[in-house]
A and B are shown apart, each in its own frame.
Chain A
Amino acid sequence: MSKKIVNSIIFTFMCLMVIVFLTPIYFIVLNSFKGKLFISDAPFALPTSETFSMFTNYVNGVTKTGFFSAFFWSLFITVFSVVAIILFTSMIAYYITRVKSKLTSLIYYIFVFSMIVPFQMVMFTMSKLADMLKLNTPWGMVLLYLGFGAGLSVFMFSGFIKSIPLEIEEASMIDGCNPLQTFFGIVMPILKPTVVTVAILNAMWVWNDYLLPYLVIGVATNYKTIPVAVQYLIGSYGEKDMGAMMALLVLAIIPIVIFYLACQKFIIEGVVAGAVKG
């Protein structure tokens, strides 16, 4: 009996916390449907017939920032960076765990070292170097993300590859597979759980990253990603269109919420695994 009461108190408390957690989302969705002049009057009130503005804010938000183009480039850079990171960092991780020499262990330690270096340490020199090498394109971004994301990914892949028994690979080599066939046919399938973790951690990072695309690609091109476009519309000086801002924020979180609800289990597991190992 008393346990039931305690549980219902906790349940009520948790429901309250859910409301607290969802308030910011509720706030921007609500105000994205109000005329821009009405937002500051009664920010938490539902839109009335006078203040309701249909999709005007969405139209403004989309046209002012080129949201769909930003969405496309965010998706493009995220997908190709994640594919490149998974493919190439697992390969180098395989090489440096299987071929033991002073050089490979030095490379491994440099990768591990890079994980603790904050982005600010290299941001100026990296963006200048990227400029000199003409990497200020979406493909250039993929290369930079591969390089800067390599530390954590190599670390996680090597940790897993160490635990795979050598015999399986030796058997496949004896059967006449070359190392590439062995890696993609035998090792890669075993690596699957780590692939999922690495993919999720990197996808979240690349999709949300602001500074790297801002510094390398900048705002003067058509390659703006979503965070850059949001900062470009809202962070610039001058009069702000509050309505368009709300609509843009709603549009920016919709893809994330859909992605989260679709692969929630993998995301939570991946993030926890990344936290515990990193």
Chain B
Amino acid sequence: MQKAIRKYGAIFVLPTLVAFMIAFVIPFIMGLYLSFCEFTTVTDATFTGLSNYIKAFSGKDFINAMLFTVKFAVVAVVFINLLAFFMALLLTRKMKGTNIFRTVFFMPNLIGGIVLGYIWQSMINAILVQYETTLVADANAGFWGLVILINWQMIGYMMIIYIAGLQNVSTDLLEAARIDGANTIKTLLFVKIPMVMPSITICLFLTVSNCFKLFDQNLALTAGAPSKKTAMLALDIYNSFYNRVGFEGVGQAKAVIFFVIVAVIALTQLTITRRKEVEQ
């Protein structure tokens, strides 16, 4: 059978492979190479070694963006997961209306980052105006605005994953815990949470990597204002590429560092999930 399929190989393979080469493989390799070059378009590159990487770290923008991203990710991940888990616990009780609640909470996840960012920008500014400030003027407001926005977007999504996990906890187990005299809190801590650890791992990594890669929402809500204080990594890379002539190489070097960070997060997740699977 393999032989027969091989004969038709070109039809099966080529369309995706050509598109994949153009959209990913060639740009990726070029990007790696160009991070060691000085250039303004891809055809006039001259090799400059590590100077782009040194420049990336010697300016304060990139370091600031990294610190801001980490701070944002930590705060956002904690809030999203606590709230999502709490709501999942409430919604797995037998109660009327749980389906409607689920529908409403999940909906913001479908709205794209740009539109979502501007919805919140207009509403937060309308509130801040009463205190005579705006998102453009106040970096603190920008930070918490982003945290609230990402909570609004991701709570429903994480909640659905937690609900799926909680529903898989066998009723026999819960019954046994009840007979042994465990109260609600003990059941939660010693039965439910250990049983939904796989869902917790998935949710933690999804929120961490989404927070790290956040771009559209950041661009729409604050665009980094005031003076780049609320610019996250992806936005800082974008700014080096397109808003600063002569810094394309530095932008590409930042992008490589960004890629390494995201890849490390993803690989950590993979190892943790693999280890868990072995234990079970």
CB-CB < 8 A to B223: which residues of A? 235
Q: Does B141 contact A (CB under 8 A)?
A: no
B176 close to chain A: CB less than 8 A:
no
The chain B residue with its CB closest to the CB of A227 is: B114
B9:A230 contact, CB within 8 angstroms: no
Contact residues in B for A227 (Cβ distance below 8 Å):
112-115, 216
- A206-225 CB mask vs B (1 if < 8 Å, else 0) is 01111100000000000000
Which residues of B sit under 8 angstroms from A209, Cβ to Cβ? 112
Given contacts A121-B256, A124-B248, A126-B27, 6 further A-B contacts (CB under 8 A): A17-B101, A43-B123, A146-B15, A260-B107, A267-B110, A275-B202
B115 adjacent to A120 (CB under 8 Å):
no
**B123 and A27 contact, CB distance less than 8 A:** yes
User: Is B135 on the interface with A (CB-CB < 8 A)?
Assistant: no
A-side contacts of B139, CB under 8 Å: none
A207 to B123: give the CA distance in the assembly, Å: 24
Residues 17-46 (chain B) with a chain A CB within 8 angstroms: 17-28, 30-31, 34, 41-42
**By the criterion CB–CB under 8 Å, are A124 and B241 in contact?**
yes
Cβ of A264 under 8 Å from chain B: yes
Interface residues of B, Cβ cutoff 8 Å to A: 1-2, 4-9, 11-13, 15-28, 30-31, 34, 41-42, 87, 90-91, 93, 95-97, 100-115, 118-120, 122-123, 126-127, 129, 152, 156-157, 160-161, 164, 202, 206, 213, 215-216, 219-220, 223, 234, 237-238, 241, 248, 251-252, 255-256, 258-259, 262-263, 266-267
Residues of A within 8 A of B112 (CB): 207-210, 226-227, 252, 256
| Cβ B31 vs Cβ A124 within 8 A | yes
Contact: B90 with A14, CB < 8 Å? yes
Query: Nearest residue in B to A240 (C-beta to C-beta)?
Result: B122
Contact between chains at B237 and A120 (CB < 8 Å): yes
**CB within 8 Å of B: which residues of A?**
7, 10-11, 13-14, 17-18, 21-25, 27-28, 31, 39-40, 43-44, 84, 88-89, 91-92, 94-96, 98-100, 107, 110-111, 114-126, 128-130, 133, 135, 143-148, 150-151, 154, 166, 169-170, 173, 178-180, 183, 204, 207-211, 226-227, 230-231, 234-235, 242, 245-246, 249, 252-253, 256-257, 259-261, 264, 267-268, 271-272, 275-276
- Bound complex: CA A130 to CA B206 (Å): 30
CA A11 – CA B248 in complex, angstroms? Answer: 54
Q: Looking at the complex, which one of B4, B24, B107 makes contact with A122 (CB distance below 8 Å)?
A: B24
Check if A18 sits within 8 Å of B101, measured CB to CB: yes
Question: Would you mind naming 26 contact pairs between A and B with Cβ atoms under 8 Å apart?
Answer: A21-B104, A43-B127, A43-B129, A84-B15, A88-B16, A89-B16, A91-B11, A100-B2, A110-B25, A118-B255, A118-B259, A122-B27, A124-B42, A125-B27, A143-B19, A144-B22, A144-B23, A146-B19, A146-B20, A169-B1, A179-B12, A207-B112, A210-B112, A234-B118, A245-B118, A260-B107
A98 to B1: give the CA distance in the assembly, Å: 9
Smallest beta-carbon distance B267→chain A, Å: 8
**Residue among B22, B113, B127 facing the most chain A CB atoms (10 A cut-off):** B22
Bound form: Cα–Cα A57–B233 in Å: 35
Q: Do the beta carbons of B9 and A99 come within 8 Å of each other? A: yes
- Bound-state Cα–Cα, A43 to B121, Å: 13
CB-contact partner of B213 in A118, A123, A126, A133, under 8 A: A118
Q: With A120-B258, A124-B248 as given contacts, are A130 and B119 in contact (CB-CB < 8 Å)?
A: no
User: CB < 8 Å: which of A10, A27, A95 contacts B90?
Assistant: A10
Q: Which of B16, B90, B129, B251 contacts A13, CB < 8 Å?
A: B90
Q: A99-B6, A116-B266 are in contact. Are A124 and B251 (CB under 8 A)?
A: yes
Select which of B7, B87, B91, B113 is within 8 A of A210 by beta carbon: B113
Q: Which of A89, A166, A211, A257 has the most CB of B within 10 A?
A: A211
List chain B residues, Cβ under 8 A from A39: 126
Structural contact, B120 and A24, CB atoms closer than 8 A: yes
The docked-state distance in angstroms from the alpha carbon of A37 to that of B32 is 50
| Residues of B contacting A94 in the complex (Cβ-Cβ under 8 angstroms) | 5, 12
The contact of B106 among A111, A207, A268, by CB within 8 Å, is A268
Contact A92 B13 (CB under 8 A): yes
Contact of B110 among A120, A245, A256, A272 (CB under 8 A): A256
A145 vs B20: C-alpha distance when bound (angstroms): 9
Inter-chain contact B5/A129, CB cutoff 8 Å: no
A84, A146, A249, A272: the one contacting B122 at CB < 8 Å is A249
Could you tell me if A129 and B115 are in contact, using CB atoms closer than 8 angstroms?
no
Q: Who on chain A is nearest to B260 by CB? A: A121
Contact A249 B255 (CB under 8 A): no
Q: Using Cβ atoms and an 8 Å threshold, which residues of chain A touch B122?
A: 27-28, 31, 242, 245-246, 249
Contact in complex: A121, B259 (CB < 8 Å): yes
> Could you say which residues of chain A place their CB within 8 Å of the CB of B215?
119-120, 211
Residue contact A150 to B119, C-beta cutoff 8 Å: no
Q: Which residue of A lies closest to B15 (CB)?
A: A88
A24 and B11 contact, Cβ closer than 8 Å, known pairs A120-B237, A147-B20, A227-B112: no
